[in-house]
Structure 1
Amino acid sequence: MSSNHIKYRNLGGNSGVDTYKIEEESIEITFKGGSTYLYTYQAPGRYHVEQMKLLARSGRGLNAFINIYVKDNYAKKLR
């Protein structure tokens, strides 16, 4: 787990999300396979990033939200 990453609570029990890191205008998400993506206000946009932050903090629905609304619209693949 990278520095400042928080373990996703996965209250639904079947999420592909492992950890996340929230910044002012972005969220970085590491999936269980080890891939890490950066989502910013530029891509996929402020609305989606803010929704992802809420879902990350709540521990439920983040993976589904990404799969339905965001898909491959990320700013950068970090690893």
Structure 2
Amino acid sequence: MSSNHIKYRNLGGNSGVDTYKIEEESIEITFNSGGTYLYTYQAPGGYHVERMKDLARSGRGLNAFISIYVKDNYDKKLR
């Protein structure tokens, strides 16, 4: 885990999200499966990125939101 990444609280107990890093116009998410993805205002867009930031901070619902609304619409796969 990068020193800038925050451990996702996973209050629902079954999330695929491991850590996240919030920037002004993006969020970087590392999944338990090992992949790290960058979501930006370009893809999937500002509304989705801001909602993902809120869910990340709250520790609940982020993985479900990505699965339902964002899917493969990310800016880039980092690793």
TM score, norm. by length of structure 2: 0.99
Q: Which residue of 1 aligns with 2:66?
A: 66
CA distance in 1, matches of 2:16, 2:23: 21
CA distance in 1, matches of 2:3, 2:34: 15
Q: How many pairs align?
A: 79
One-letter code of the match for 2:26? Answer: S
What is the deviation of 1:33? Answer: 1.1
**Aligned to 1:15, what secondary structure does the other structure show?**
coil
Give me the identity figure in percent.
90
**Aligned to 1:39, what secondary structure does the other structure show?**
strand
Q: Which residue of 1 aligns with 2:24?
A: 24
Q: Which residue of 2 aligns with 1:41?
A: 41
What is the deviation of 1:3? Answer: 2.3
Alignment pair present for 1:56 and 2:53: no
* Gaps in structure 1 of 5+ consecutive residues: none
